[in-house]
């Protein structure tokens, strides 16, 4: 029986991984048991790792293959820099399993490859370089479960180690008060859906994930060839698990650069879906554009260069002529016009599939659909288009051309998960997995959108990885204006802030102030508005959906109340200055959820640039929130006495004995700015 890995959390005490020392990473091989130990300095991080691979229909572990060959190369360029490459090949004379390690200064990269000694082809849909038993369940150690996507109102979860869960692409194992932690995650996202699973203390990192949460019905597709390799996984550790998560995300960006062509700063603007939705009208859009340009921009509700976004969503009720006219009007107001697309979705009924995919097309809808178990597959109410089919590519061209000709430069791209569902097969025969198909198709759609000039792409319902197709990505599913909606959005910032290293901006969805039911007496409080707007400030972009149109007759929202709330919320210049940073705040702690629920958000998030620090405190409960916050907990020296100013109330807060008091009324938010005092300059 293979040895089970032993992950030793020496990070759980004060002595854990000192911040001042760069301890050397090493990999040690146990030739008797074909097992690996990973060390950081003198500390054992992983002990007894035996890799496992799927050879066709069965799984084989390295300790079943008796012959061992070891090769080491001192200098090797990896995703995270130069390091020593170590190759360990296990064989029974025919089957070969090779585990590679690149040992660098800040972590270890590893991947698993299978092959045959006679160079014949192999096939696999499961490769696991790491599997480990975790110590520390009784001492408060935690497992961060990262969702695959943002659909179906999923959340990040912080779980005890004596449970079962699957975290997609990356997971963190961390302490509480000491913050020490380890991060294990895949840094390649071109072929595999990868995961890190927890099963009552057993941690397994593998490529070949297929679950209900990946939206798949079929097993993961099998790759084949003379050599088949897993994704590369990074193992890193830090005295602060938040730093380890950020290092993981930055390493991913070294492998695949994210999309970063937007040059106008953090997006501020308006989006039609949150209130008007299917009741949108051309006249309302024009009035909203004028109000933003003439009233909100002078008050500071705009990007650093004055740019604003106006984006109409699904069922916009606009003719092609009105779309072109709206784009001209919006651009004349110094704004970027936006629209809505679902490139991988066919919103048809079953009986419509045999008509042309679009006017003039030689292909029918049935031709272009993905098939699962032999039938066209539907997800989220739409048939899924095969991202590799020429019919789908022609559809991309037709849709993009019409919207670009109208003048749109900002594209909300929704339901992209429909393009990454494992199919029976794909039109392009070389493609075997859903991730390969997604990359193949999405790259072509982006090329269509960018013809004539790069646009802003805002991913909506979408997986976190791959990330290179979006300037932004919505952090959570549909999120409206109540305090419970703010808490849901903040769960994704509390534990997914690091995705800001992958995307230019994290999108908190439409920041509803006065919702669609205002005419029926359902109105969020001013405190709830502050909380919801603050979620945008600490995420990285702010699109408001309120009805700023006197002539609107949709029966949605309340124009008069929206104008009032805009004055009270959107025209706070000090708050908007923070929003222009366009950065996601990190959690202050990471283990102090506001209520005893594994998927709850944290109350406190923080961001520092230079000698300035901003702290957001959101109270999701119905009782006042009072926290005595040590300066050291937000990275400041306890010996300093910074000036602390609360930006919503415009009041200064006293610092005493290396701490200050955070007070937040029920269902409300506060935003603190800490800057050096005259004595500390």
Please choose, from the candidates 200, 193, 141, the residue with its C-alpha nearest in 3D space to the C-alpha of residue 170: 193
Query: pLDDT, tens digit, for every residue of 398-439?
Result: 999 999 999 999 999 999 999 999 999 999 999 999 999 999
* pLDDT band at 11; cut points 50, 70, 90: very low
Residue 6, pLDDT above cutoff 80: no
Region 11-30 average pLDDT = 59
CB 395 within 8 A of CB 345: no
Query: pLDDT, tens digit, for every residue of 433-468?
Result: 999 999 999 999 999 999 999 999 999 999 999 999
- What is the distance between the alpha carbons of residues 508 and 533, in angstroms, rounded to a whole number? 10
- What is the distance between the alpha carbons of residues 222 and 101, in angstroms, rounded to a whole number? 24
* pLDDT band at 22; cut points 50, 70, 90: low
Q: Helix (H, G, I), strand (E, B), or coil: what is residue 247?
A: helix
Last residue of a domain, one of 222, 255, 288: 255
Q: Domain containing 670: what range? A: 586-680
Angle (nearest 5°) at CA 187 between 541 and 70: 165
Residues 420 and 277 both lie in one domain: yes
With respect to residue 100, please indicate whether it lies within any of the assigned structural domains: yes
Least confident of 127-141, 369-383, 483-497: 127-141
Please choose, from the candidates 578, 585, 582, the residue with its C-alpha nearest in 3D space to the C-alpha of residue 495: 585
- What is the distance between the alpha carbons of residues 485 and 349, in angstroms, rounded to a whole number? 32
Classify burial at 563, counting beta carbons within 10 Å of its beta carbon; exposed 0-12, middle 13-18, buried 19 or more. middle
Residue 133, pLDDT above cutoff 90: no
Residue 3, pLDDT above cutoff 70: no
With respect to residue 316, please indicate whether it lies within any of the assigned structural domains: yes
Query: pLDDT, tens digit, for every residue of 246-274?
Result: 999 999 999 999 999 999 999 999 999 99
* CB neighbour burial string for 258-281, b if at least 16 within 10 angstroms, e if fewer: bbeebebbbbbbbbbbbbbbebbb
Residues 156 and 302 both lie in one domain: no
With respect to residue 378, please indicate whether it lies within any of the assigned structural domains: no
With respect to residue 357, please indicate whether it lies within any of the assigned structural domains: no
**Helix H segments across 383-508?**
390-406, 434-449, 483-496
With respect to residue 544, please indicate whether it lies within any of the assigned structural domains: yes
Angle (nearest 5°) at CA 622 between 559 and 536: 50
pLDDT (0 to 100) of residue 117: 94
E strand or H helix that includes residue 19: none
Residues 141 and 37 both lie in one domain: yes
Residues 243 and 276 both lie in one domain: no
CB 264 within 8 A of CB 471: no
pLDDT (0 to 100) of residue 460: 98
Region 507-514 average pLDDT = 98
Which pTM value belongs to this model? 0.95
Last residue of a domain, one of 579, 606, 634: 579
- What is the distance between the alpha carbons of residues 382 and 314, in angstroms, rounded to a whole number? 14
Residues 593 and 458 both lie in one domain: no
With respect to residue 9, please indicate whether it lies within any of the assigned structural domains: no
With respect to residue 263, please indicate whether it lies within any of the assigned structural domains: no
CATH for 401: 3.20.20.70
Q: Helix (H, G, I), strand (E, B), or coil: what is residue 391?
A: helix
* pLDDT band at 341; cut points 50, 70, 90: very high
E strand or H helix that includes residue 608: strand 604-609
Please choose, from the candidates 223, 221, 222, 193, the residue with its C-alpha nearest in 3D space to the C-alpha of residue 209: 193
- What is the distance between the alpha carbons of residues 171 and 127, in angstroms, rounded to a whole number? 17
* pLDDT band at 132; cut points 50, 70, 90: confident
Beta strands in 175-232 (DSSP E): 181-186, 194-199, 202-207, 223-225, 227-229
Residues 318 and 418 both lie in one domain: yes
First vs last Cα of the chain: how many Å apart?
A: 63
pLDDT (0 to 100) of residue 566: 98
* % pLDDT > 90, the chain: 88
Residues 6+ apart with CB under 8 A from 241: 172, 174, 175, 179, 180, 181, 182, 183, 590
* pLDDT band at 8; cut points 50, 70, 90: very low
With respect to residue 381, please indicate whether it lies within any of the assigned structural domains: no
Residues 560 and 600 both lie in one domain: no
Please choose, from the candidates 574, 609, 555, the residue with its C-alpha nearest in 3D space to the C-alpha of residue 284: 555
pLDDT (0 to 100) of residue 5: 33
Residues 246 and 305 both lie in one domain: no
Region 663-679 average pLDDT = 92
Residue 12, pLDDT above cutoff 60: no
Residues 544 and 605 both lie in one domain: no
Please choose, from the candidates 666, 655, 601, the residue with its C-alpha nearest in 3D space to the C-alpha of residue 628: 655
Please choose, from the candidates 444, 533, 540, the residue with its C-alpha nearest in 3D space to the C-alpha of residue 481: 533
* pLDDT band at 56; cut points 50, 70, 90: confident
CB 531 within 8 A of CB 669: yes
pLDDT (0 to 100) of residue 680: 58
Residues 229 and 281 both lie in one domain: no
CATH for 647: 2.60.40.1180
pLDDT (0 to 100) of residue 81: 73
- What is the distance between the alpha carbons of residues 547 and 530, in angstroms, rounded to a whole number? 18
- What is the distance between the alpha carbons of residues 67 and 571, in angstroms, rounded to a whole number? 70
Last residue of a domain, one of 579, 601, 622: 579
pLDDT (0 to 100) of residue 139: 60
Number of folded domains that form the chain: 3
Residues 212 and 275 both lie in one domain: no
Residues 277 and 196 both lie in one domain: no
CATH for 26: 2.70.98.10
* CB neighbour burial string for 376-402, b if at least 16 within 10 angstroms, e if fewer: bbbbbebbbbbbbbebbbbbbbbbbee
Beta-bridged to residue 61, according to DSSP, are: 52
């Amino acid at each position: 029986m293979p040895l089970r890995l032993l992950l030793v959390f020496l990070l759980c005490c004060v002595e854990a991984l000192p911040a001042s020392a760069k301890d050397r990473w090493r990999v040690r091989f146990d030739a008797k048991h074909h097992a690996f130990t990973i060390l950081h300095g003198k500390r054992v991080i992983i002990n007894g790792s035996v890799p496992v691979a799927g050879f066709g229909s069965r799984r084989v572990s390295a300790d079943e293959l008796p012959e061992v060959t070891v090769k080491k190369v001192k200098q090797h360029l990896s995703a995270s820099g130069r390091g020593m490459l170590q190759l360990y090949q296990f064989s029974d004379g025919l089957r070969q399993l090779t585990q590679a390690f690149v040992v660098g200064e800040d972590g270890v990269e590893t991947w698993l490859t299978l092959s045959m000694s006679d160079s014949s082809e192999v096939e696999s849909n499961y490769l696991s370089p790491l599997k480990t038993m975790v110590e520390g369940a009784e001492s408060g150690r935690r497992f961060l479960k990262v969702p695959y996507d943002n659909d179906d109102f999923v959340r990040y979860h912080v779980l005890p180690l004596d449970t079962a869960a699957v975290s997609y692409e990356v997971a963190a194992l961390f302490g509480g008060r000491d913050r020490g932690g380890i991060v294990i995650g895949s840094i390649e996202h071109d072929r595999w859906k990868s995961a890190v699973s927890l099963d009552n203390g057993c941690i397994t990192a593998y490529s070949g994930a297929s679950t209900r949460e990946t939206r798949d019905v079929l097993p993961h597709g099998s790759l084949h060839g003379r050599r088949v390799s897993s994704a590369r996984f990074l193992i890193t550790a830090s005295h602060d698990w938040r730093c380890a998560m950020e290092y993981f995300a930055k390493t991913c960006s070294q492998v695949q650069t994210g999309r970063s062509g937007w040059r106008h700063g953090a997006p501020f603007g308006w989006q039609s879906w949150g209130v008007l939705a299917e009741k949108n009208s051309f006249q309302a859009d024009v009035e909203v554009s004028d109000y933003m340009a003439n009233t909100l921009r002078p008050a500071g509700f705009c990007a650093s260069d004055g740019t604003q976004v106006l984006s109409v969503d699904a069922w916009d009720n606009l003719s092609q002529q009105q779309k072109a006219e709206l784009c001209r009007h919006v651009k004349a107001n110094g704004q970027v016009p936006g629209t809505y697309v679902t490139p991988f979705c066919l919103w048809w009924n079953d009986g419509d599939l045999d008509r042309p995919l679009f006017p003039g097309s030689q292909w029918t809808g049935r031709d272009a659909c993905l098939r699962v178990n032999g039938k066209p597959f539907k997800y989220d109410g739409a048939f899924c288009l095969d991202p590799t089919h020429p019919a789908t590519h022609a559809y991309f061209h037709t849709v993009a051309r019409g919207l670009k000709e109208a003048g749109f430069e900002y594209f909300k791209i929704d339901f992209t998960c429909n393009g990454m569902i494992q199919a029976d097969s794909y039109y392009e025969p070389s493609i075997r997995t859903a991730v390969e198909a997604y990359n193949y198709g999405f790259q072509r759609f982006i090329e269509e959108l960018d013809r004539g000039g790069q646009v802003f792409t805002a991913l909506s319902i979408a997986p976190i990885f791959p990330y290179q197709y979006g300037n932004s990505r919505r952090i959570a599913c549909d999120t409206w204006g109540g305090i419970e909606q703010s808490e849901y959005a903040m769960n994704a910032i509390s534990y997914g802030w690091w995705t800001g290293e992958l995307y230019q901006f994290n999108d908190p969805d439409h920041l509803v102030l006065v919702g669609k039911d205002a005419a029926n007496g359902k109105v969020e409080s001013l405190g709830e508005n502050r909380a919801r707007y603050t979620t945008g400030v600490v995420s990285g972009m702010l699109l408001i959906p309120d009805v700023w149109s006197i002539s609107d007759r949709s029966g949605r929202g309340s124009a008069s109340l929206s104008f009032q709330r805009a004055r009270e919320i959107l025209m706070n210049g000090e708050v908007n200055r923070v929003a222009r940073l366009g950065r996601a705040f990190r959690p202050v702690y990471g283990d102090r959820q506001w209520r005893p629920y594994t998927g709850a958000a944290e109350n406190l998030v923080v961001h520092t640039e230079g000698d300035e620090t901003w702290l957001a405190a959101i109270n999701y409960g119905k009782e006042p929130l009072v926290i005595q916050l040590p300066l050291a907990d937000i990275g400041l020296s306890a010996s300093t006495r910074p000036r602390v100013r609360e930006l919503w109330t415009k009041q200064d807060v006293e610092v005493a004995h290396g701490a200050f008091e955070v007070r937040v009324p029920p269902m409300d938010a506060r935003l603190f700015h800490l800057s050096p005092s005259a004595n500390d300059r």
